[in-house]
Amino acid sequence: MTDGTSGRFITLEGGEGAGKSTQIARLRTWLEGRGKTVVATREPGGSSGAEMIRKLLVEGPAERWDGVTEALLHFAARRDHLRTTVWPALKLGAWVISDRFADSTRAYQGYGHGLDHATIEQLYDVAVGDFRPDLTLILDLPIDVGLARAAARRGAETRYENLPIEFHQRVKAGFLEIAKREPGRCVVIDAGQDIDTLAATIARTVGDRLGV
């Protein structure tokens, strides 16, 4: 948690095509309208070093890495992201909104690829320590809808989208299990709503949970 500062760390999670980027932009505007300084960022990425690692993870053939290698790369990128972007912003009192964080590693590499959960938490302890998001919003969407949305904006970053449907089913189930396990931090939100309704739901949730 971000004890000792007025800043807050909010993460948006979910499968492919859940609309996280659009909703982060809307949430940023809403928070700024309430006088908050907001930093919007993403994982993997969010810092120069982490963006270099991002290309290794999201581009190229689906079979390029196994779950262990992916997790190691994600946590390397995460460490640089925290040191360079997230922690300095929070120290200045900014509210940081991140498109993905460690729950994506738990869902994709843990549930999706079957990497032992204890191993992921060991890596978390090394790279992140005691730091946790103040609030995690999990945008939940039917897999076929999300993949269709993702396909409509196809660029070079298609590696995860190209993994088998069974992989995405495990990821979806993983996010829901994470939320069930940590209801104090996580809120599952129906991402099938229209953009404006979804934005209002997210704003209401942030306001209720974090006292905005």
User: 195-210 and 20-32 are packed helices; what angle lies between their axes, rounded to 10 degrees?
Assistant: 50
Give yes or no for residue 184 having a pLDDT over 60. Answer: yes
Question: How far apart are the C-alpha atoms of 114 and 99, rounded to whole Å?
Answer: 23
pLDDT value for 2: 47
The sheet carrying 9-14 orders its strands as 38-42, 95-99, 9-14, 135-140, 186-190
Half-sphere exposure (CA, 13 Å, Cβ side) for 81? 28
Give yes or no for residue 60 having a pLDDT over 90. Answer: no
Question: How far apart are the C-alpha atoms of 29 and 82, rounded to whole Å?
Answer: 23
Average pLDDT of span 158-176: 83
| 77 in any annotated domain | yes
| 1 in any annotated domain | no
Report the number of distinct structural domains present in the chain. Answer: 1
pLDDT bucket at 38, cuts 50 / 70 / 90: very high
pLDDT bucket at 164, cuts 50 / 70 / 90: confident
| 2 in any annotated domain | no
In the chain, % of residues over pLDDT 70: 92
Give yes or no for residue 47 having a pLDDT over 80. Answer: yes
Question: Which whole-number Å values give the CA distances from 205 to 91, 172, 209, in the listed order?
Answer: 24, 21, 6
| 175 in any annotated domain | yes
Place of tokens 């932009």: 25
Query: What pLDDT digit, counting tens, does each position of 113-155 carry?
Result: 999 999 999 999 999 999 999 999 999 988 877 777 766 666 6
Identify the CATH number of the domain in which residue 204 sits. 3.40.50.300
In this structure, are residues 32 and 38 in contact, taking their beta carbons and an 8 Å threshold?
Answer: yes
